[in-house]
Amino acid sequence: MSATIIDGKQIAARVRAGVAEQVEAFGRETGQTPGLATVLVGEDPASAVYVGGKQRACAEVGMVPYDRRLPANATFEEVAEELEGLNADRAVSGILLQLPVPAHLDGPALTGIISPDKDVDGLTPVNAGLLSLGRPGLRPCTPLGVMELLAETGVELAGAEAVVVGRSNLFGKPMAQLLLAHNATVTVCHSRTRDLREVCARAEVLIVAVGRARLVRREFVRPEAVVIDVGMNRLTPEEAGNKSGLVGDVDFAQVAEVASAITPVPGGVGPMTIALLLRNTLQAARYHARLHELLADVEEGLA
Ligand code: NAP
């Protein structure tokens, strides 16, 4: 194996430690503590594990977690009311609606109810639009995490051929926008791409988020490319043998022979998502603190 392994666990730990320090400093400056609310509808076990992880991580960096749960049969109006309550709550800096929501609910419509200034997942139309326009805003956590990993490799993005495989609103599209904002030449592939192998083989930076185990093999990868594997695929116990059972979209053993750097699964992109969620929550808290300061000044001026 020739590739450097990009250690997402270690990089995420560093991001979290940085956030913890800044939360403390923010508390000293403003007397406030950022708060992150998670909203979970239903009892899907995987979603409950994700929410639990986010709650714990939040407390670990000194923020206040708010854990809101609604039954699987909650109506659109009930979830909307919960989100609107959190929008209005000044103790809450960031709101995250855990996706997917049960099938009878419209997830994107519910996400759209979250105030853009509390949208720490960066998924509301306002934040997606701001990203697309290259204006400041809250960005989706996983693509932000990938940008941190790329920075760590030292790869020069300006002018580089970057290929993103997957065009979801959650990952592929915002990832492409972030790369474009860093002046990469970006190609986005999807299920209708005619020759995926040929397009991927052009990439100096190859980012794969499809959800198909080991889709990307050695012949898809340009020698010395930086390869980021976002995919998370659970193997059956028989397929997994005695291993963890979680594999990415990239055939790690093959691709590590040709790439210059590669993320493992698990331990690559996964840990970055929560770390960047915490950073986004702090960013939202800072924005609110500035806004309230400004409003107080205006009120004082009017008095
Ligand atoms: P998604 O919404 O299902 O999107 C998958 C994308 O892959 C779609 O754009 C689809 O194309 C494309 N695709 C499907 N088959 C393809 C093929 N054979 N060749 C090329 N493209 C193909 O999934 P997602 O939410 O973006 O997630 C993708 C993967 O990343 C999943 O494994 C997910 O678990 C993982 N993920 C991980 C994290 C993390 O924190 N580590 C965060 C987000 C996602 P069409 O648009 O044409 O259908």
Structural contact between residues 164 and 189, judged by C-beta atoms closer than 8 angstroms:
yes
**By alpha-carbon position, which residue is closest to atom 6 of ligand 1?**
166
Is there an atom of ligand 1 within 6 Å of 171 CB?
Answer: yes
Q: Tell me: the pLDDT tens digits for 61-96?
A: 999 999 999 999 999 999 999 999 999 999 999 999
Q: At what angle do helices 141-153 and 8-30 cross, to 10 degrees?
A: 110
**Is there a catalytic annotation at residue 121?**
yes
Tell me how far the alpha carbon of residue 172 lies from the centroid of ligand 1, in angstroms: 8
Structural contact between residues 157 and 182, judged by C-beta atoms closer than 8 angstroms:
yes
Q: Residue 102: phi, psi to the nearest 5?
A: -55, 155
Is there an atom of ligand 1 within 6 Å of 92 CB?
Answer: no
pLDDT of residue 244: 75
Tell me how far the alpha carbon of residue 234 lies from the centroid of ligand 1, in angstroms: 14
Q: Which of 22, 32, 54, 249 is the catalytic position?
A: 54
Tell me how far the alpha carbon of residue 303 lies from the centroid of ligand 1, in angstroms: 54
Bridge partners for 70 per DSSP: 41
Q: What is the pLDDT along the chain (303 residues), one digit of tens a residue?
A: 689 999 999 999 999 999 999 999 999 999 999 999 999 999 999 999 999 999 999 999 999 999 999 999 999 999 999 999 999 999 999 999 999 999 999 999 999 999 999 999 999 999 999 999 999 999 999 999 999 999 999 999 999 999 999 999 999 999 999 999 999 999 999 999 999 999 999 999 999 999 999 999 999 999 999 999 999 999 888 887 767 789 999 999 999 999 999 999 999 999 999 999 999 999 999 999 999 999 999 998 887
pLDDT of residue 243: 76
Give start and end residues of each alpha helix (H) in 74-190.
76-88, 107-111, 125-133, 141-153, 172-181
Atom of ligand 1 minimally distant from the CA of 167: 9
**Is there a catalytic annotation at residue 229?**
no
Q: Tell me: the pLDDT tens digits for 260-301?
A: 999 999 999 999 999 999 999 999 999 999 999 999 999 988
List of E strands, 154-267? 161-165, 185-189, 205-208, 226-229, 233-234, 246-247, 261-262
Q: Which of 22, 32, 117, 121 is the catalytic position?
A: 121
The reported pTM is: 0.96
